[in-house]
Every structure is written in structure tokens, then in C-alpha cells.
Amino acid sequence: MLFSFARKNMRVMFKLSMYFHIGLKIIPAMPRKKNREASFGKRLIALRKARGITQVELAKALGTTQRTISYYENEDGLPTVVLLGSLTRVLGVTSDELLGLKPVKVQDSPQKRRLWKRLQRIESLPERDQRAVVRLINSLVTSNGNGQSRGSAHL
């Protein structure tokens, strides 16, 4: 009966442990999951760089300072709920993805999807025509040096 009362009242439990020289270990109700594989800062850096955004540009879009972005990328802190919502909007990810609870889904642009579909259609061509298309692509890429097209042809 004494111990059931002590379970209900932490202060009494502490005093009893001191009186009887019993070691007392307080265990938090919900221990934090420690995901050291990829911290919030590392995910933020990866997402920001994948979108081609600098810390200054991200800070401006969020209405904060570059120093704040640097803090979240380099320290072990987490942003406020308001800033987290803004980060998800600007980076185009969900809060679960940003916090590392779910993997980030890669989203390609519509132009890349159209190009990929057209490249897949090449498989239906005869082998001779496939080789011709590959030679044409290779010659275009090497003649431009960096793979950039001269015009703005739509895919």
C-alpha cells in the first residue's frame, strides 16, 4: 500500500528512496527516437541544395535571416511549428519528409517526365533506328559541349 501511494506521488517516492538508500531512476514517459542517420540539419541542407536554393534565398522566402537557416542546418535544433510549415511550403515537401519520418519523394519537372516518356518509346523502334537515335543524341550533346540546347525547343 505504501508503494502504490508512492507511485502516484513522485515527491514521496524520492523521499522514500533517500530514506531507504534506494537508487531511483526516473524514466521519461516517451523517450525520443534518436535518428542519427540523417539529422534535421542534414536533411534541410540536402533538400535546399536539391532545389538549387542558397541559404540567403531560403531565408528571404521564409521571412527570416540567413543566420537562422545556418543554425538549423549546423546545430541540433528544430524549427518552430510556424517555420516548419513555411519550410515545407517553400521546399515542396511534407513535414513528415522534412522531419525524416518518411522518405522524400523525388518530384521531376513535367518537362523531364515528357522527355523520359519519349525516350521510353525509343525501345519500340527497330534496333537499327535505336542506334541512330543514340548517335544523334550523342552528337548533339558533344557538339554543344555542356548538353544545353541552342534553341528553346519544347519536348
Q: What is the pLDDT of residues 90-136, one digit of tens each?
A: 998 999 989 888 888 766 677 777 887 888 888 888 999 989 998 99
pLDDT one-digit tens code per residue, 108-121? 677 777 887 888 88
Summarize pLDDT for 51-68 with one digit per residue, the tens: 889 999 999 999 999 999
Which of 41, 46, 65, 63 has the alpha carbon at shortest distance from 55? Answer: 65
Q: Three-state SS for 92?
A: coil
Which residue's C-alpha cell is 540546347?
A: 149
**Predicted local distance difference test score (pLDDT) of residue 15:** 61
Q: State the pTM of this model.
A: 0.49
Distances (CA, A) of 61 to 8, 45, 88, 91, 103: 49, 16, 12, 10, 24
Per-domain residue ranges for the chain? 40-99, 110-144
What CATH number labels 40-99? Answer: 1.10.260.40
Over range 8-34, report the average pLDDT: 56
Predicted confidence at residue 147, as pLDDT, reads 47
